[in-house]
Amino acid sequence: MGAGDEEIDRVRLQTDRLILRDVVPGDVDGFHAYMADPAYIRHLPLDPIGRDGVQALVDRVLLRQGPGPRERYFLAAVERASGRLVGEAIFKRPSDVEGEIGWAVAGPDQGQGLATEIGRALLHFGFEDLRLHRLIARCEMSNHASERVMDKLGMCREGILREHLFARGRWWSSAQWSMLNPRPQFAGEGAER
């Protein structure tokens, strides 16, 4: 799809405390440990997810991890010191110039700056590795913690997508934040490919 795709068959990003890596079949129990908590979906337009749902998610993700350009990355966020799965990193690339980032951190690990580390790693991946021009992040309007992360990342709040999604019996509104590539000489280099 864009610059650098040929080299990005397997993803492994590192932060001070985390490794963000492609999902492996053995991650099902780690994901289920926090995804089964009702607090996980509080700000997400998802139905409650059981172990079978997590298994189906991991199976879908594994199919998308093949060689070649990807439009979606769902990565396991693993604590470097312990090897414990503590969350997820999500990267979507709908075009050669723009991407969308997202994250979730297991309940017991929230409030420690891990979401900010995930966000920084995803910004670096999008701007430096994929050389995209613009990255966005969205969150449900009452998810103040995610908005604080976006602010810490240096993203700019663009506005509100009012009632743009219907899920779990209600309309959802989202705040949208964005950032432009701070190195514009690289942004969009692969757009013509």
**What confidence tens digit (pLDDT) does each residue in 88-133 have?**
999 999 999 999 999 999 999 999 999 999 999 999 999 999 999 9
**What confidence tens digit (pLDDT) does each residue in 33-52 have?**
999 988 888 888 888 889 99
In the predicted structure, residue 69 carries a pLDDT above the cut 60:
yes
In the predicted structure, residue 56 carries a pLDDT above the cut 50:
yes
The answer to whether residue 187 is domain-embedded is: no
How many other β-carbons are positioned within 10 Å of the β-carbon of residue 35? 22
Question: What residue has token string 């998802």?
Answer: 46
Query: Global pTM?
Result: 0.89
The answer to whether residue 158 is domain-embedded is: yes
Domain count, the chain: 1
- Rounded to 5°, angle at Cα 46 from 89 and 25: 50
What tokens appear for 79 in the block? 């604590």
Assign residue 117 the CATH number of its domain: 3.40.630.30
The answer to whether residue 92 is domain-embedded is: yes
